[in-house]
Amino acid sequence: MKVKLGDISQIITGPFGSQLHMSDYVSDGYPVIMPQNISNRRVNEIGIARIDDSNFNRLIRYSVQPNDIIYARRGKVDEHAFIDVSKKMICGTGCFRVRVVSREVYPLFLSLYLNRSETRQWLISHAVGSNMPNLNTDILSNVPLELPEYSEQVRIAQCLQSIDDKIRINNAINDNLAQQAKLLYDYWFTQFDFPDENDKPYRSSGGQMVWNDRMKRNIPTGWQVVTFTNIATWESNSQPPKSEFRYEPQEGYVRFIQNRDYDSNAHKTYIPLTKNLSIVDRLDILMDKYGDAGAVRYGIEGAFNVALGKINVHNTSHREYIRSYLESDGIYTYLHNSCMASTRASLSESNLANLILVMPDAVTIAKYEAILNNIRKHILKNNDEIEKLVALRDWLLPLLMNGQATIAE
């Protein structure tokens, strides 16, 4: 069956900016899906914006339901999230909601089909905009589809479901680990209830505190307050022209890290390794300069592109503490908003110059680093398994569609 996406689905845009303001967001409420929350065919709820009952009911026409597909209108336009849970959520500003209306299309299979490299490349090549790719309803409606019979769609999707389930479990474990890291940072370094010498929560157990004028609050006695640029520096990178890009690994080339690579490995790129390139390992700290400016990245080894900046921590034994500080909600919000005055968000070292932070004593920071290093290693291990499972699923899909592989009865 050869059709277009608009033929078999209803596509609507999320609410306009005038319908949803920053003042509408609450700390505990119903998730609002934004482009930055779309990753690996799912909604990542870490740091997601939320609204209360009254705003949810006001925007209910933008609510999502199981089997909906959510696309970003800008940025990572080839990425989508498949809604597989029954949960009150809103398709937010900057997104499209695709809802299957044809009885000849199995929504889960459609999601798998849209995730194929051919379809994703079609979206990228048809997107508009010079600085950042953008989609509109006309482009999305015209995505070409060539689907098998409904019964075959169901059989293929159910066959691949077990792989998707394992991917989902690993993602959920990673989300939980990341949330544990955020809670631990808040407990130790915002509430100052890190374990004292008796393993009791420091501040709650009467630990000595002293007023600090720069922080405008009490901090543990003996801890220092430093300017961020005194403990870390910002580094940008160069990149070659696209004519030198390669899409398979080869000798003398290195992985070229782009923002979108942290959501998908569908666009792996390699560039010539030269002495002018800065190379990062998997635990180095990178940060988005454009798009989701201020977002902290790690987990890929290679040379980073011009849309990312590297945070060089002077004392690497403090790296996890610095990473957690930058990942904290308040710092992310500050950095993200501080560079939104221009038409294209762009972070630089100047945005970090005004940051100040508390530096704990050596014993406390060493304990924290040990815990966080273990968490990061578990996350990276799960990511490696996810990458293998995604590759297996995406390899099987075309084989099942063209009959090169069959499903046992």
Are 133 and 237 part of one and the same domain? no
Shared domain check, 228 and 141: no
pLDDT of 310-364, one tens digit each? 999 999 999 999 999 999 988 988 888 877 655 455 788 888 988 999 999 999 9
Q: Is residue 178 part of a domain?
A: no
309, 234 contact by CB (below 8 A): yes
Which of 116, 146, 176 is the last residue before a domain boundary?
A: 146
Strand-strand pairing, 49-51 and 42-43: unpaired
Amino acid at 120: R
- Given this model, what pLDDT does residue 36 score? 87
End-to-end Cα, the chain, rounded Å: 24
Is residue 202 in some structural domain? no
Same domain, 103 and 230: no
Residues 133 and 266 in one domain: no
Is 135 found in the same domain as 16?
A: yes
Phi-psi region of 20 (alpha: psi -120 to 50; beta: other; left: phi over 0): beta
- pLDDT, residue 408, reads 61
> Does 237 share its domain with 328?
yes
What DSSP line would sit under 272-308, residue for residue?
E--TT--EE-TTSEEEESSSSTT-EE-S--EEE-TTE
Last residue of a domain, one of 82, 115, 146: 146
Is residue 377 included in any domain, yes or no? Answer: no
Whole-angstrom Cα Rg for the chain: 23
| pLDDT tens by residue, 265-308 | 878 999 999 888 999 999 999 999 987 889 999 999 999 999 99
Domain boundaries, position 7: 2-146
What CATH number should be reported for the domain holding residue 77?
Answer: 3.90.220.20
**Looking at the domain assignment, is residue 100 inside a domain?**
yes
Between 18-27, 246-255, 345-354, 374-383, the lowest mean confidence (pLDDT) is in 345-354
Q: What is the pTM of this model?
A: 0.83
Report the chain's mean pLDDT, rounded to a whole number. Answer: 92
111 shares its domain with 244: no
As for how many domains the chain has, the answer is 2
Q: Are residue 253 and residue 349 in the same domain, yes or no?
A: yes
Would you say residue 96 lies in a domain? Answer: yes
The reply to whether 228 and 141 lie within a common domain is: no
pLDDT tens digits, one per residue of 52-99: 999 999 999 999 999 999 999 988 899 999 999 889 999 998 999 999
Domain identity same for 6 and 136: yes
Q: What is the pLDDT of residues 171-204, one digit of tens each?
A: 999 999 999 999 999 999 999 999 999 999 999 9
Do residues 232 and 324 share a domain?
Answer: yes
